Amino acid sequence: MEPKLLSRAISVTSQIDAKDVQSIRQQGFGTIICNRPDGEAQDQPSADEIGETANELGLKFVYIPIIPGGVEDRKIAEFISALNASDMPALAYCRTGTRSATLWALSEAGKRPANQIIASAASAGYDLRQLAGRLGEG
């Protein structure tokens, strides 16, 4: 697990498991957001398992599953609400971190220029140029 900083408020990473939660807490994260639907892979830990461990360690946990290619406006609104209610900084994860980075980028649309959002994602290793039209001129 290697968190990648998108902004002061949020980092993203690939799939985590319950044993990573203590390290996440020690790194200063206050909230974990799961964007990976349960059951995508047989060896994938469930959101409930990670959420239970997070709660035991005093972290908030939010489950906003995103199917690949399925970042709907409703999910963006849920993500924004989760961030607004989060203990910062937050760590979002999915299989590779791309869905979480995409969700973050779309939640930033209209708040700052698209090229800044895309550059922030690129510095974390995520190529989100295909979102430029959806991010608008912000």
Between the CA of residue 81 and those of 37, 71, 78, 104, 115, what are the distances in Å?
A: 19, 15, 5, 12, 24
Cα separation, 15 vs 35, in Å, equals 10
pLDDT averaged over every residue in the chain: 95
Q: What pLDDT, on the 0 to 100 scale, is given for residue 1?
A: 85
Q: Which residue has the higher pLDDT, 12 or 136?
A: 12
Mean pLDDT of 86-105: 96
DSSP 112: B
Q: What residue type is assigned to position 109 of the chain?
A: A
* 101 in Cβ contact with 71 (< 8 Å): no
Q: What pLDDT, on the 0 to 100 scale, is given for residue 68?
A: 85
